[in-house]
Chain A
Amino acid sequence: MLIEILQQTINGLAIGGVYVLIALGLTTVFGILGIAHFAHGSVSMFGGYLTFFLVTSQGLPVLVAIPIALVVGFLLGLLIEIIAYRPVRDANHINAFIVALGLTMMVEGINLQMFGHEQVVIPTGLSRVFRLGGVTVPELRIYVIIAAIVLVAAMMLFVERTKTGQAIRAVAENRDAAILMGVNVKSIPLIVFGISTSLGVAAGIMVGALFAIAPGIGEGFVVKGFAVLILGGLGSFPGAILGGTVLGITESIAAGFISSAYKDVIAFVVMILVLLIRPQGLLGRSP
Chain B
Amino acid sequence: MNRTLTFLAWLAAFATLAMLPQLITVKYYLHLSILALIWVIMAQGQNLIQGYTGYVSIVGAGFMGIGAYSSTLLGLHLHLPTWVTIAMAPMVTALFALATGYPSLRIKGHYFAIVTLAFNLIIVIVLVNYKELTNGETGISNIPKLWGGSRDAYFYLVLLLAAFLTLLAALIARSRVGEILLAIRQNEDLVGSIGIAAWKYKLFAFVVSAMYAGLAGALYAHFQGFINPEIFGVAQSLDAILAVILGGSGTIAGPVIGAFLVVFLPELLRFADSFRLILYGLILVLATIFMPIGIVGVCKALICRLSGKGLRHGA
Residues of B within 8 A of A272 (CB): 103-104, 115, 118
Expressed in whole angstroms, the Cα–Cα distance for A101 and B107 within the complex equals 20
Q: Are B281 and A102 in contact (CB under 8 A)?
A: yes
Within 8 A of B (CB), among A30-54: 30, 36, 38
**Chain B residue with Cβ nearest A260:** B129
Contacts A36-B110, A272-B104; A106 near B121 (Cβ below 8 A): no
Expressed in whole angstroms, the Cα–Cα distance for A195 and B194 within the complex equals 44
Q: Is A66 an interface residue (CB 8 A)?
A: no
Residues of B within 8 A of A6 (CB): none
Instruction: Count A-B pairs with CB separation below 8 Å.
Output: 126
Q: Are B113 and A97 in contact (CB under 8 A)?
A: yes
* Proximity bits, B108-120, A CB within 8 Å = 1, else 0: 0111011101110
Q: Is B274 an interface residue (CB 8 A)?
A: yes
Q: Are B275 and A113 in contact (CB under 8 A)?
A: yes
Q: Is A123 an interface residue (CB 8 A)?
A: no
Q: Shortest CB–CB separation between residue B52 and chain A, in angstroms? A: 13
Q: Is A87 an interface residue (CB 8 A)?
A: yes
Q: Are A279 and B54 in contact (CB under 8 A)?
A: no
Within 8 A of A (CB), among B259-300: 273-285, 288-289, 292
Contacts A105-B280, A110-B278, A279-B107; A264 near B121 (Cβ below 8 A): yes
* Proximity bits, A230-249, B CB within 8 Å = 1, else 0: 10000000000000000000
Q: Which of A93, A109, A223, A265 sits near B114, CB closer than 8 Å? A: A223
Q: Are A99 and B284 in contact (CB under 8 A)?
A: yes
Q: Is A84 an interface residue (CB 8 A)?
A: yes
Q: Is B213 an interface residue (CB 8 A)?
A: no
A: number of interface residues (CB 8 Å): 42
Q: Is A3 an interface residue (CB 8 A)?
A: no
Q: Is B125 an interface residue (CB 8 A)?
A: yes
Q: Which of B54, B106, B125 sits near A276, CB closer than 8 Å? A: B106
Q: Which of B111, B278, B283 sits near A275, CB closer than 8 Å? A: B111
Q: Is A251 an interface residue (CB 8 A)?
A: no
Expressed in whole angstroms, the Cα–Cα distance for A223 and B121 within the complex equals 9
Q: Is A213 an interface residue (CB 8 A)?
A: no
Q: Which of A93, A94, A220, A275 sits near B121, CB closer than 8 Å? A: A220
Q: Is B40 an interface residue (CB 8 A)?
A: no
Contacts A94-B54, A95-B292, A264-B125; A102 near B115 (Cβ below 8 A): no
Q: Is A226 an interface residue (CB 8 A)?
A: yes
Contacts A102-B288, A106-B281; A112 near B274 (Cβ below 8 A): yes
**Chain A residue with Cβ nearest B122:** A265
Expressed in whole angstroms, the Cα–Cα distance for A99 and B287 within the complex equals 9
Q: Are A113 and B284 in contact (CB under 8 A)?
A: no
Q: Which of A98, A101, A106, A261 sits near B282, CB closer than 8 Å? A: A106
Q: Shortest CB–CB separation between residue B81 and chain A, in angstroms? A: 34
Expressed in whole angstroms, the Cα–Cα distance for A268 and B282 within the complex equals 29
Expressed in whole angstroms, the Cα–Cα distance for A219 and B118 within the complex equals 9
Q: Which of A91, A105, A271 sits near B278, CB closer than 8 Å? A: A105
Q: Shortest CB–CB separation between residue A139 and chain B, in angstroms? A: 31
Q: Is A126 an interface residue (CB 8 A)?
A: no
Within 8 A of A (CB), among B132-175: none
Residues of B within 8 A of A101 (CB): 58, 238, 241, 281, 284
Expressed in whole angstroms, the Cα–Cα distance for A95 and B109 within the complex equals 11
Q: Are B245 and A103 in contact (CB under 8 A)?
A: no
Q: Are B103 and A103 in contact (CB under 8 A)?
A: no
**Chain B residue with Cβ nearest A94:** B56
Q: Is A227 an interface residue (CB 8 A)?
A: yes
Residues of B within 8 A of A104 (CB): 238, 281
Q: Is A262 an interface residue (CB 8 A)?
A: yes
Q: List 5 A-B contacts (CB under 8 A).
A: A97-B56, A102-B282, A105-B280, A109-B274, A223-B114
Given contacts A102-B288, A113-B278, A226-B114, 15 further A-B contacts (CB under 8 A): A36-B113, A93-B110, A95-B288, A98-B284, A99-B285, A101-B58, A102-B281, A102-B282, A102-B285, A105-B281, A109-B280, A113-B274, A223-B118, A261-B125, A275-B115
